[in-house]
Each structure stands twice: as structure tokens, then as C-alpha cells.
């Protein structure tokens, strides 16, 4: 049987998963009403977090498909996937056109010599402009230095959600066959007798974990074949040779893993039985074979500490709260989360390095759902030194906003050491592109939403380490810190809400040192939110003198991470996210300040 290996890549939300889902549905691999975004967090957020494999059968060909995440924090995962497939479907929203992550994934694909098939998706949107978008994509190929052969790309117009694809925008079509036919025609076959007859060389590009089988490796078999129970060698990244045995092997079909006894060159399979296998290593039967070129993994860009929760409310909500439990959970995470680096050497905290705020926030969100309780310190950018020069991570930011709002955005990003590289007015919005140190961008997103009244779109991605930009002055908002422990009273909150934005509502448990809101002007403010009589008729509509409280800006993990100050911790438990001062009493805080 013939095999084709493709990945679906795009900017976040451009419709990769919906297209994959439709492909699986139409090929009969799965029932209606299911989605590739199988993870609970993915469903809730409506984004893909983990790249996932599937395969479908079409005209006697097995098509292995990898659905990748579009969010920039997960780009190193996409990069690894790109190393192991033969072509990509570059999905581009027919209204939005190419976005930062489109550029990134296309750039990586072109560098690897892939010939993308462009899928202009969501053509059903009322504001779709497929012709313009096709032109923009062509320009992007040019800008990124595509070869003549790559520039001659095929275009398919699609409504991925409804499962329709067509070669020309006016064609009649009721399914995705035009796209699948193009895949069969244009993507090089991955399998051949010649390759299968060679000696085995397979390479993991992703890891998984199974409670019974332990670490799993998702591999592409480049040459030869693997059989169940094979005794294999692993050529490590350090050049050392290790031994392993293929205990079990699976292929993906629809959403299921199907067990296999044998797999041939060209296929993508999951193998179990090599406990310490890592991405980029070479699995072989003959230890003399040349190892495959290794797969590079991007370095982390931000760092923070995970600590045992020691707030006055510690242990009230979580099931797993001790240092040892947190450590074991983090060790398990490093089995599969390859972008993560954790330093376990301190006994007081674990230093966790990741690829961005969302990358870490997803881990924290998973942990709290499993019943963990902990606190974290403020995320810091990771600096590097090269040839005696201090370097820091930079990001490219693409912003789309209504024209009259560009002034304030440009002013703020410039203050944060951003450099505008492009400004393009379009029909009813302006697109601005900035290059800015990650440090300058941390905490900016929530301000951006306010400044653009929720109408702006901001997308960013790490572009690498560059020269340190010097001190960055950010808008200084203070924290409103509770001086008392007890229940918040509507009466005091009513008075406090004039001073800034509150993170809590009335009748909530607070403790001394907890941050209950921000102060719009000036420094930290110590307040008593528990003072005064509790009013029973709050917000009850009929009462004439009822107190009207502005709805609080309730914290979640990401929001907390982006607004917290250096002297604070974010306390995360299954049901609560609270911000607090590291030192809970005012006396201690003053003493600490003196020491510095
Ligand atoms: N109108 C329209 N909406 C679509 C189409 N395809 C997908 N969508 C919608 O766009 C949103 C995002 O779709 P997804 O398939 O989750 O996007 P994605 O590219 O997988 O997103 P990430 O994995 O998070 O990067 C969903 O609300 C879909 O229902 C389409 O062809 N037309
Ligand atoms: Mg998706």
C-alpha cells in the first residue's frame, strides 16, 4: 500500500482541526460529532495544544496526517513535526490572510525544502477575499525566499468545517476529494520497496506516555521495517548506543491507536518499550548504520519558580500539596513535554523554563485540574550570553486594529523598546508589525485589550535571541493589598472600587497580604476589604439604595501571570487563583525593602 505523510499547519484558529475532522469524517475513519481536539483543556479553550496524528485511507493510499497547534507558544512542536513529514497543507483564513504564525510555519517548511499546498479556508465567511489572500500568500512566499518550484504552489479553496474543497473558487464541490486528489498527485510517496528493503532507520519526532507501557515514541520509519518484539539499538544524541525492545507498536487510525505487528518504511508509528528514548535519536537494528540528522529543540525563553503553597489558605482546596508531590508531577511532565526544562536542584522551589506564558499556563491548568495546589513566582525572561554580549529573546508582533487606535498602541510598544518594522493601512483596519523584546511584551496584552476596546488582534511569536535592549519602563500600577483576614464586604469594596480594578467580589475569603485588586494611580495600597456591615440587599434590583458593585476582574492563571509583580506569588488551587505578596505583613515587606 502507498503512504503519504502530511502535516496541517497554520496560524491559530485558521481551521486546521476542523479540516482534519472533516477529512476523517468523510473517509469514514470516525463518527460524526467528535473532534481531534480530544483533550479537555483543548475543548474548553477551542485551541489545539498538542499536535496529534491520525491516518485516513483514500483510493488505496494511507494518508498520515499530523494536526498541529497554531499558537506561537507551541511552535517548536510544529517544527519537529515538519522534519518528519513530506508535505504540508498551509491553511490560510480567506478573510484574515497570512498572520505571524503563517509566516513562521511557512518559513520553516520552505527551509526544509517542502512544497506546501495552500488551502485558502473559510471561503464561506461573508468578508472572505480569497483572491487578495492568494496574492498575499504569494508575496509571503516571495519574501521568505521560496524557490521557483516552491513558488509554483497549488491552491485549494475550502470550507473546512463543512468539508468542501475546490480547485477553482467557482467550481461545484460537495466534499474534500479535490484536496485529497491533489495530495495523492503532488506529495511524494513515502513508501517504496527499495526503502523497505534497506536497513532499519526510524526517528522519533514526538513523545507520549502510557501508564502501563511507559514512554512512547512517535516515529517516522525512514527505511527498513520494524516488527513487534524486535531487539533494537538506539543511537543517542550523545553518540552512545543503547538497547531496547519493541514491546508494542501502534498506528493511528481516526482517533484510535491500532496495534500493529509490522510496519514498513514511510509509515508513522508509535513504539513502546524504549524507556529513555528521545526526540531525534535513531532507532536501528544494525548498530553500524549512519544515524539520521538530529532534530533540534528550541530553547526556553521564560523562567519561573514553582513552590509549595504557603499562603494562610494552603491545603484547604488541593489534594496534592506537598513538595514531593509537586516534584513527582513535574518529573512526569518532563517525560513528554520536551520544550520544558526543570531544575530540581533546590529544595525550596523548582525552576521551570518554558517557551512562553501559555506553555507554562497550560501545565499549571492541567495540574490544578488534577488536584494540585501550588504557587508560582513572576515569569522572567531568560537572558543568554554570547561572545561577552548579553542577549534576550525577541518577538515579532502583528497587530490589526481600527485605524484611529494606532497612536496609543505605537506609543506604548515604543516605550517598551519595540521597533516598528511595518505599518500598512487596509480597508478598515491598520496592520502594524513590531519587533520587541519578550520582556517588553510581558504584561502588555491585557493593556492592549483595554486600549483597543477589545477590537484589536495581537499575535506574537519568538524570533530568537538578540542584543539586550536595556531597561524597560512599564506603566506602573500598584497592587491593592489586604491588611485583614476575613470575608470581603460589599460596603468596603464599594469604596475601594474607585481606586482601581478589583479582582474579587463580595463575601469572598481574603487574607492579610492578599492582592485584591490594582491601583490605577501610584504605588501599592494597603486596604481593609473586610470592614463594615455586610449589606444583604446588594445588587438586588428593587432596593432603592442598593450598592452597585462593578463586576470584578476575576483572575485566571494567564491573567495572573501577566499582571503579577516581582514581589508577589500567584497561588493556584483547583478552584481558586489568588494573587498575594510574598511577604504577607506590611512590616515584613518594609523590612525586606530596607534590606535591598
Ligand atoms: N466560517 C468558517 N469557520 C470555520 C471553518 N473552519 C473552521 N472554522 C471555525 O474556526 C474556528 C477555529 O477552528 P479550528 O479548526 O479549531 O482552528 P485551528 O486552526 O485548529 O486552531 P488551533 O489549533 O488552535 O491553532 C472554529 O470555531 C471553527 O468552527 C470554515 O471553513 N468556515
Ligand atoms: Mg487546531
pLDDT digits (tens, 9 = 90+) for 100-147: 889 889 999 999 999 999 999 999 999 999 999 999 999 999 999 999
C-alpha cell, 429:
483596519
Does the Cβ of 103 fall within 6 Å of ligand 1? no
- Mean pLDDT for 179-187 is 95
pLDDT at 540 over 50: no
Does the Cβ of 10 fall within 6 Å of ligand 1? yes
Ligand 1 pocket test, candidate residues 7, 11, 16, 18, most atoms within 8 A of CB: 18
How far does residue 338's CA lie from ligand 2's centre (Å)?
20
pLDDT computed for residue 79 by the predictor: 86
Does the Cβ of 13 fall within 6 Å of ligand 1? yes
pLDDT at 578 over 50: yes
Task: State how far the Cα of 565 lies from the Cα of 166, in Å rounded to an integer.
Answer: 52
pLDDT digits (tens, 9 = 90+) for 368-383: 999 999 999 999 999 9
- The answer to whether the beta carbons of residues 277 and 204 sit under 8 Å apart is yes
Whole-number Cα distances in Å, 513 to 311, 369, 499? 9, 26, 18
How far does residue 18's CA lie from ligand 1's centre (Å)?
5
- Mean pLDDT for 446-453 is 80
Protein residue whose Cα sits closest to atom 23 of ligand 1: 48
Nearest to 523 by CA among 567, 588, 471: 567
Does the Cβ of 163 fall within 6 Å of ligand 1? no
In eight-state DSSP terms, residue 280 is T
C-alpha cell, 442:
510581558
Question: What is the pTM (predicted TM-score) of this model?
Answer: 0.84
Q: Which is the closest atom of ligand 1 to the Cα of 125?
A: 1
Nearest to 141 by CA among 131, 154, 129, 156: 154
Does the Cβ of 52 fall within 6 Å of ligand 1? no
Does the Cβ of 68 fall within 6 Å of ligand 1? no
- Mean pLDDT for 361-374 is 95
Does the Cβ of 66 fall within 6 Å of ligand 1? no
Ligand lying nearest the CA atom of residue 161: 1
Q: Which is the closest atom of ligand 1 to the Cα of 46?
A: 16
Does the Cβ of 412 fall within 6 Å of ligand 1? no
Ligand lying nearest the CA atom of residue 159: 1
Pairing mode, strands 568-572 and 374-377: antiparallel
Q: How confident is the model at residue 575 (pLDDT cuts 50, 70, 90)?
A: very high
Ligand 1 pocket test, candidate residues 7, 13, 23, 38, most atoms within 8 A of CB: 13
How far does residue 13's CA lie from ligand 2's centre (Å)?
7
How far does residue 47's CA lie from ligand 2's centre (Å)?
5
pLDDT digits (tens, 9 = 90+) for 248-302: 999 988 878 899 999 999 999 999 999 889 999 999 999 999 999 988 777 888 9
Give residues with Cβ within 8 angstroms of 411, minimum separation 6: none
pLDDT digits (tens, 9 = 90+) for 6-53: 999 999 999 999 999 999 999 887 766 677 887 788 888 788 888 889
Q: Which is the closest atom of ligand 1 to the Cα of 47?
A: 24
Q: How confident is the model at residue 347 (pLDDT cuts 50, 70, 90)?
A: confident
Does the Cβ of 14 fall within 6 Å of ligand 1? yes
Q: Which is the closest atom of ligand 1 to the Cα of 70?
A: 25
Does the Cβ of 190 fall within 6 Å of ligand 1? no
- The answer to whether the beta carbons of residues 215 and 209 sit under 8 Å apart is yes
Q: Which is the closest atom of ligand 1 to the Cα of 42?
A: 24
In eight-state DSSP terms, residue 502 is B
C-alpha torsion sign, points 77, 83, 84, 87 = positive
- Mean pLDDT for 513-535 is 85
pLDDT at 595 over 50: yes
- Mean pLDDT for 151-168 is 95
Using only C-alpha atoms, the chain has a radius of gyration, in whole angstroms, of 26
How far does residue 66's CA lie from ligand 2's centre (Å)?
11
Protein residue whose Cα sits closest to atom 13 of ligand 1: 15
How far does residue 223's CA lie from ligand 1's centre (Å)?
36
How far does residue 127's CA lie from ligand 2's centre (Å)?
22
Q: How confident is the model at residue 461 (pLDDT cuts 50, 70, 90)?
A: confident
Task: State how far the Cα of 558 lies from the Cα of 560, in Å rounded to an integer.
Answer: 5
C-alpha cell, 586:
506590611
Mean pLDDT taken over the chain: 90
Q: Which is the closest atom of ligand 1 to the Cα of 101?
A: 25
Give me the residue label for grid cell 479537555.
40
Q: How confident is the model at residue 539 (pLDDT cuts 50, 70, 90)?
A: low
Q: Which is the closest atom of ligand 1 to the Cα of 71?
A: 25
Task: State how far the Cα of 176 lies from the Cα of 451, in Å rounded to an integer.
Answer: 42
pLDDT digits (tens, 9 = 90+) for 196-247: 999 999 999 998 888 888 889 999 999 999 999 999 999 998 889 999 999 9
Does the Cβ of 165 fall within 6 Å of ligand 1? no
Ligand 2 ion: nearby residues, β-carbon < 5 Å = 16-17, 48
Instruction: Give the SS3 label for residue 100.
Output: helix
Task: State how far the Cα of 532 lies from the Cα of 354, in Å rounded to an integer.
Answer: 44
Tally the C-alpha atoms within 13 A of residue 27's C-alpha that lie toward its C-beta.
Answer: 27
Ligand 1 pocket test, candidate residues 161, 165, 176, 359, most atoms within 8 A of CB: 161
pLDDT at 556 over 60: yes
- Mean pLDDT for 384-391 is 92
How far does residue 71's CA lie from ligand 1's centre (Å)?
13
pLDDT at 168 over 90: yes
Q: How confident is the model at residue 459 (pLDDT cuts 50, 70, 90)?
A: confident
pLDDT at 527 over 90: yes
Amino acid at each position: 500500500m502507498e503512504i503519504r505523510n502530511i502535516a496541517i499547519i497554520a496560524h491559530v484558529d485558521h481551521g486546521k482541526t476542523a479540516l482534519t475532522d472533516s477529512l476523517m469524517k468523510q473517509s469514514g475513519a470516525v463518527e460524526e460529532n467528535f473532534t481531534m481536539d480530544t483533550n479537555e483543556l483543548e475543548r474548553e479553550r477551542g485551541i489545539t495544544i498538542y499536535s496529534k496524528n491520525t491516518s485516513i485511507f483514500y483510493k488505496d493510499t494511507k494518508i498520515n496526517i499530523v494536526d498541529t497547534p497554531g499558537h506561537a507558544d507551541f511552535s517548536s512542536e510544529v517544527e519537529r513535526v515538519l522534519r518528519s513529514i513530506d508535505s504540508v497543507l498551509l491553511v490560510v483564513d480567506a478573510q484574515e490572510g497570512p498572520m505571524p504564525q503563517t509566516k513562521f510555519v511557512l518559513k520553516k517548511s520552505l527551509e526544509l525544502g517542502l512544497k506546501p499546498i495552500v488551502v485558502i479556508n473559510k471561503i464561506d465567511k461573508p468578508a472572505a477575499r480569497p483572491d487578495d489572500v492568494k496574492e498575499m500568500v504569494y508575496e509571503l512566499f516571495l519574501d521568505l525566499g521560496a524557490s521557483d518550484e516552491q513558488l509554483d504552489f497549488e491552491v485549494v479553496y475550502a470550507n473546512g468545517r463543512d468539508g468542501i474543497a475546490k480547485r477553482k473558487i467557482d467550481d461545484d464541490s460537495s466534499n474534500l476529494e479535490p484536496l485529497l486528489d491533489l495530495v495523492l498527485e503532488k506529495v511524494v510517496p513515502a513508501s517504496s520497496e527499495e526503502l523497505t528493503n534497506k536497513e532499519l532507520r526510524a526517528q522519533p519526532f514526538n513523545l507520549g506516555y502510557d501508564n502501563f507501557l511507559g514512554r512512547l515514541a512517535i516515529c517516522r520509519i525512514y527505511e527498513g521495517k520494524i516488527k513487534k518484539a524486535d531487539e533494537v539499538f538506539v543511537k543517542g544524541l550523545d553518540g552512545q548506543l543503547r538497547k531496547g525492545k519493541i514491546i508494542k507498536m501502534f498506528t493511528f487510525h481516526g482517533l484510535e491507536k491500532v496495534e500493529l505487528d509490522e510496519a514498513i518504511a514511510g509509515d508513522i508509528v508509535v513504539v513502546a518499550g524504549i524507556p529513555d528514548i528521545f526526540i531525534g535519536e535513531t532507532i536501528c537494528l544494525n548498530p553500524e548504520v549512519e544515524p539520521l540528522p538530529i532534530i533540534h529543540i528550541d530553547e526556553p525563553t521564560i523562567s519561573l519558580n514553582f513552590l509549595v503553597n504557603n499562603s494562610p489558605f494552603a491545603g484547604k482546596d488541593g489534594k496534592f500539596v506537598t513538595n514531593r508531590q509537586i516534584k513527582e508531577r513535574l518529573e512526569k511532565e518532563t517525560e513528554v513535554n520536551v520544550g520544558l526544562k526543570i531544575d530540581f536542584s533546590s529544595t525550596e522551589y523548582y525552576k521551570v523554563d518554558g517557551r512562553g506564558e501559555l506553555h507554562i499556563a497550560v501545565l499549571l491548568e492541567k495540574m490544578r485540574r488534577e488536584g494540585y495546589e501550588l504557587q508560582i513566582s513572576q515569569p522572567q525572561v531568560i537572558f543568554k550570553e554570547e561572545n561577552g554580549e548579553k542577549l534576550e529573546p525577541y518577538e515579532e508582533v502583528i497587530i490589526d486594529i481600527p485605524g484611529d487606535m494606532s497612536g496609543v498602541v505605537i506609543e506604548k510598544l515604543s516605550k517598551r523598546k519595540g521597533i516598528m518594522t511595518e505599518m500598512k493601512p487596509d480597508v478598515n483596519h491598520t496592520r502594524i508589525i513590531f519587533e520587541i523584546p519578550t520582556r517588553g511584551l510581558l504584561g502588555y496584552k491585557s493593556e492592549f485589550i483595554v486600549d483597543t476596546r477589545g477590537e484589536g488582534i495581537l499575535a506574537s511569536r519568538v524570533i530568537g535571541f538578540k542584543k539586550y535592549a536595556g531597561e524597560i519602563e512599564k506603566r506602573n500600577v500598584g497592587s491593592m493589598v489586604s491588611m485583614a483576614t476575613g470575608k470581603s464586604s460589599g460596603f468596603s469594596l464599594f469604596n475601594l472600587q474607585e481606586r482601581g480594578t478589583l479582582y474579587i467580589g463580595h463575601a469572598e475569603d481574603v487574607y492579610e497580604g492578599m492582592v485584591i485588586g490594582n491601583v490605577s494611580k501610584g504605588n501599592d495600597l494597603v486596604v481593609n476589604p473586610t470592614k463594615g456591615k455586610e449589606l444583604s440587599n446588594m445588587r438586588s434590583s428593587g432596593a432603592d439604595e442598593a450598592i452597585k458593585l462593578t463586576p470584578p476582574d476575576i483572575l485566571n492563571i494567564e491573567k495572573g501571570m501577566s499582571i503579577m509583580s516581582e514581589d508577589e506569588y500567584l497561588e493556584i488551587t483547583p478552584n481558586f487563583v489568588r494573587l498575594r505578596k510574598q511577604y504577607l505583613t506590611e512590616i515584613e515587606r518594609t523590612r525586606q525593602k530596607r534590606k535591598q
